[in-house]
């Protein structure tokens, strides 16, 4: 799987190609690309004075009220997918490319690692995963993290 770049902004569309080379005849159910964002939070040393929560350090995942404050939590912030190809037959020796586009929601948090105002450590990652779904056996997949940043402020032209 390749993309046109490694750094994306919130609200941007990721464009890329899933490349498949077959060493046997494969009847694929689909080829899809998944985009997932995960927040990992671990306990910290307590309230950090004079530190304000911002779009980077705030939590975007839903945390239950009875979640333990003393254990690391892993929360799914976002999951989306797009179809690169519907059901198809891939013959042995075939090398093909399947283009895809998937949008990053603009209302969520960017890639981040650091301390929050409440003293807890937050790590937010975005992962792009290509999946070749094959019936009757395990899917074949590959994944990589991408960097998602806040878009630059709009400049006013006078």
pLDDT band at 116 (very low <50, low <70, confident <90, very high): confident
Residue 18 within a domain: yes
pLDDT digits (tens, 9 = 90+) for 66-87: 556 667 889 999 999 999 999 9
C-alpha separations of 154 from 12, 60, 106, 151, 157 in Å: 15, 24, 15, 9, 9
For residue 76 the two structure tokens come to 């799914």
Is 31 among the domain residues? Answer: yes
**DSSP line for 40-63:** EEE--SS--TT----TTTS--S--
User: Which residues share a beta bridge with 82?
Assistant: 33
Q: Quick check: is 136 in a domain?
A: yes
In a domain, 16, yes or no: yes
In the numeric block, which tokens belong to residue 40?
């990992």
Confidence of residue 14 (pLDDT cuts 50, 70, 90): very high
Is 156 a member of any domain? no
Task: Find all residues with CB under 8 Å of 113, minimum gap 6, and list them.
Answer: 122, 123, 124
- Is 130 domain-assigned? yes
Domain count, the chain: 1
Which of 59, 7, 55 is CA-nearest to residue 38?
A: 59
Quote the pTM value. Answer: 0.86
> CATH number, domain at 27?
2.60.40.640
Is residue 122 included in any domain, yes or no?
yes
- Residue range of the domain that includes 31: 2-62+69-149
Digit-coded pLDDT (tens) for 28-76? 999 999 999 999 988 766 655 555 667 777 778 776 555 566 678 899 9
């Amino acid at each position: 799987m390749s993309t046109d770049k490694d750094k994306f902004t919130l609200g941007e569309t990721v464009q890329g190609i899933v490349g498949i080379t077959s060493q046997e005849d494969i009847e694929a159910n689909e080829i899809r690309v998944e985009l997932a964002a995960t927040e990992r939070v671990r306990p910290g040393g307590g309230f950090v004075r004079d530190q304000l929560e911002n779009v980077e350090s705030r939590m975007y995942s839903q945390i239950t009220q009875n979640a333990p404050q003393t254990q690391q939590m892993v929360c799914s912030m976002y999951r989306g997918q797009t179809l690169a190809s519907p059901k198809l037959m891939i013959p042995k020796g075939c090398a093909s490319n399947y283009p895809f586009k998937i949008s990053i929601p603009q209302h969520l948090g960017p890639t981040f690692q650091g301390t929050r105002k409440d003293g807890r450590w937050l790590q937010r990652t975005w992962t792009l995963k290509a999946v070749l779904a094959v019936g009757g056996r395990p899917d074949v997949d590959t994944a990589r993290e991408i960097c998602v940043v806040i878009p630059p402020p709009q400049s006013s032209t006078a």
